[in-house]
Structure formats: C-alpha cells, structure tokens
Chain A
Amino acid sequence: LQEGGFSRAGARSRWQTMSTTNNIAQARKLVEQLRIEAGIERIKVSKASSELMNYCEQHARNDPLLVGVPASENPFKDKKPCIIL
C-alpha cells in the first residue's frame, strides 16, 4: 500500500483500506510514545552515578551483608563455637 498520496481534506479516499488505517493507527501510537519519551527529563550519567554512589556510602554502615555483623547480632550465625571431636 502506498504511503503518500492520501487526501489532504481528510475524507476517506477509496484507496484507503483497513490495513492503511491500521498503519496510521500504529504510526500514531508510535509517535505518541516517542513524544512521551522525548518529554522525559533526563540527567547526566555523571550526576546519576554519583548520586547512586552517595546512597551506597550513606547506608554502608547499616548494611549487614556488606560490613558483616558479629554472630551475636545475626540470628543466622551460630553463637556457640564448634567442638571438633
């Protein structure tokens, strides 16, 4: 089906078929989605990275798996020493 040559007045010409209408519907949907994406406010990677880094650093000492907690504070770590028989 040809892409160009449709009536400018907007009335359906006899060459306009269901699949052409669907193509327009699809194209319109794509354009709408792209407009949304183009409207998103984005920040630089340098800024994004340093903010993620700051979050890590601020919360590091409260991260048990990162800093390690003594057995007395971790319910999963055994408190009793092992006895080798």
Chain B
Amino acid sequence: LLRQQEPQQHPWEPGKQTPPPTRSHRLSLPASFAKMATEGLHENETLASLKNEAESLKGKLEEETMFLHDVLFHQVAERVEALGQFVMKTRRTLKGHGNKVLCMDWCKDKRRIVSSSQDGKVIVWDSFTTNKEHAVTMPCTWVMACAYAPSGCAIACGGLDNKCSVYPLTFDKNENMAAKKKSVAMHTNYLSACSFTNSDMQILTASGDGTCALWDVESGQLLQSFHGHGADVLCLDLAPSETGNTFVSGGCDKKAMVWDMRSGQCIQSFETHDSDINSVRYYPSGDAFASGSDDATCRLYDLRADREVAIYSKESIIFGASSVDFSLSGRLLFAGYNDYTINVWDVLKGSRVSILFGHENRVSTLRVSPDGTAFCSGSWDHTLRIWA
C-alpha cells in the first residue's frame, strides 16, 4: 500500500518548486515549504517547523478523505438482494468448564475446538460428539487466550501468568500434558490474545502491556515487537495468507492498528470507536476488517479506502460487543454481546438479520468454523455452543 515517496514531493528538496502531484491538485503542498526547504532537515529543524509540517500533512489527509468518501457504503449495497429469514439454532452444547469461558479456537480439521476458562482449565473438545479429548490446568486463573496450532498437534494459551505457553497434544494416556509445556512468550502484563501464524513455528501475542509480539516457538526468542497502542491490547487477527504479512490489533485506546509483521511498523491506524475494542477480524478477502467494541457497535474498516465504511448498531443494543467473526463469503457478521445475545448482521446492508438467544451470561468469544458450516460461541455461563 505504501507508495514510493516521489522526490518532488519531499518538502525539504532545496530550491525546487513542487509540481502538482498526479493524483489530485488538492494535494499540492503550500508554497511556504519551498522557503523552509532551504533550511535542510535534521540540523535546522525547529519545533515550529515540525508542527507546521504536521498541520499541513493533517490538512492534506483531511482533504483527501473528503475527496475519496464519495458514497455511503450501504448505498452501493442497495442493488444487492436482501437476505431471507435465518434459522440458526444451537446444535451442540459443550459443558465441562467450571467457570467463565474466555476464549476458544477451532482446529483446522473443522471439528476440534480448544477453549479456556477463568478457572485455569484449557479443554480440547470434539465438537461433533461433545467429548473432551484433552484437558490441562494452567498455573494461573483467567486464561484469556488460547489457539490451535495449524497442524492440530498443539495448542497455545495464556492469561494472568503474562505468558503464552504451547502444549503438544498427545493421545498417550500415560503422558501428562502439562509435563511437555513450553513457555514461549513473556509479556509484562496479562496475555489477551494469541495466534499461530501460518505454521506451528511462530506465535503472535497481544498483551495488557500495550504491545504485540511475534515469537519463535522452538527457541522462545522474540522475533519482532509492535509498539504503538496507548493502552492494553485486547485482540488481534492475522491477515488471510494470500494478502501478505500483516495483522490487525485492537485495544483499550479505542484504536485498531494494522501492522507489518516483518518491520514492526504500524502501517494504518483507525480511531473511530468510543470505547475499548474487544475483537477484530479480517474480512475473508483481506481487504477489510471488522471490530467489536464496548461502545455497543461493530464497525467495518476498508484497508484500501483507509477508513471506516460501516457501523453495525441499533438503539436497542446498549451492551458491548465482545467478539466478532465473518461467515465464509463475508456477507454475514456474527457478533457476541455482553447482554448474552448473538446478533447476526448483513455486512453489506448494515441491518441485523437475526438475534440468537441461548447463553445465560455474557458471550465472550465467537469463531466461525474453518469450513463455515457452523460457528461456536463461548460464554460466562461456563458453556460453549455450536450454532448452525
């Protein structure tokens, strides 16, 4: 997305007139920069000149925003057929956690699920049969994050222990799962989210310490850290592998930030929510992502337009959205809320198509299965439900 910085547009080119950029005449720089250009950059920059440049760049960005925001997202969707009635029911209920379910993840085999709870337990389930296949007790309570490895042979989890640990899954009844535990990530505050990258070898973590980090699983080495959030980071999601090495994170600073995994740089940042962002999820094409927030709204951000394009909200919805995920085509957005419900949104038209009742406490986590046949929700009511 980053355009090569054309030399003519660099404000510090000594003596040169800045020709109008090819994109839009509205984006040309003011003449005062030509004067400042003669002063050179690092040695002679002053606070005033930097502030001037900042203001000018901000103005430029605002103008461009107005120019590009040529239509409302939902207007374009008017030509799309409306969705019919949805009948989605709880097909399975997974019971076994002794306390609030905080996180869950699907295995790539589309049937196994790992879930973690406030009571420190991490359980692997067969969602077809509802049988528990593995269980491990963590040394800490509030296991806020868990993830399945792409191979299906391991899981990662962590929470108030400030770490992310990897447990290989073994079917040997005699082996104690906890014995093979490997500590991978170390943060200075709680672990809020974790995800394997496209292999079992690397893990991406988000933490209450305000940072995200990329780790090598085998050595535990920190490969890259991501600084920029002004408060706890609560969630992250990796871009679909076709779109390259980026991920999005959301935090208590109300910001959603998109990062380049190799350089550690924040490449885009969005601040339109009014409260903590609890969940972020990429649209299946990788060109957009959705967020769920304590401000009771979910929002859609388009990465190439570089802006928020839709808000999913209703006056009657006043509790925070804790977790969001898209159906396979991206047409539906499933969102779990703190008022115990799950709302299903028509992503294109912005309307709610269904509301699902069943959980008896907050919905804390929600993921669509890898083949899109169902989605799973986890709740403070100690259960997980599979819906289809």
Q: A74 touches which one: B51, B127, B306, B374 (CB < 8 A)?
A: B374
Known A8-B44, A50-B76: A55·B304 in contact at CB below 8 Å: no
Q: Contact: B43 with A10, CB < 8 Å?
A: yes
Q: How many residues of A contact B (CB 8 A)?
A: 52
Write the nearest CB–CB distance from B263 to chain A, whole angstroms.
11
- Chain A residues with CB under 8 Å of B128's CB are 75-76
Interface size class of B (residues with CB under 8 A): 35 or more
Q: Is there contact, CB below 8 Å, between B48 and A10?
A: no
B331 near A: Cβ within 8 Å?
yes
Q: Is A45 an interface residue (CB 8 A)?
A: yes
B220 at the interface (CB under 8 A from A): no
Q: Are A3 and B77 neighbours in the complex by a CB distance under 8 Å?
A: no
- With both chains docked as a complex, state the minimum distance between the C-beta of B260 and any C-beta of chain A, in angstroms: 11
A24 and B47 in contact (CB under 8 A), knowing A31-B53, A38-B60, A45-B71? Answer: yes
Q: Is the CB of B348 within 8 A of A53?
A: yes
Q: Contact at A40–B1, with CB atoms within 8 Å?
A: yes
* Alpha-carbon separation in the docked complex, A37 to B307 (Å): 12
Q: Determine chain B's interface SS by DSSP, over half rule.
A: loop
User: Across the interface, which residues of B come within 8 angstroms of A10, CB to CB?
Assistant: 43-44
Among candidates A4, A39, A53, A56, residue contacting B3 with C-beta atoms closer than 8 Å: A39
The answer, yes or no, to whether B68 is at the interface (CB within 8 Å) is: yes
In the complex, chain B residues whose CB is within 8 Å of the CB of A34: 53-54, 57-58, 61
A65 near B306: Cβ-Cβ < 8 Å: no
A42 → chain B closest CB, angstroms: 5
B4 to chain A, nearest CB (A): 8
Cα(A50)–Cα(B135), bound, Å = 46
> With contacts A31-B54, A53-B348, A63-B372 known, is A39 near B2, CB below 8 A?
yes
- Chain A, residues 5-45, CB within 8 Å of chain B (1/0): the string is 01011100000000010011001101101111111111111
Whether B368 pairs with A65 at a CB distance below 8 angstroms is: yes
Question: Residue A80 at the B interface, CB < 8 A?
Answer: no
Which of the listed residues B77, B268, B331 has the most CB atoms from chain A within 10 Å of its own CB?
Answer: B331
Q: Could you write out 26 A-B pairs with CB less than 8 Å apart? A: A3-B46, A3-B47, A6-B47, A28-B50, A31-B57, A37-B57, A38-B60, A40-B1, A43-B68, A45-B71, A47-B304, A47-B305, A48-B309, A55-B285, A56-B347, A57-B80, A60-B329, A63-B331, A65-B327, A65-B368, A66-B83, A68-B87, A74-B373, A76-B91, A76-B128, A77-B388
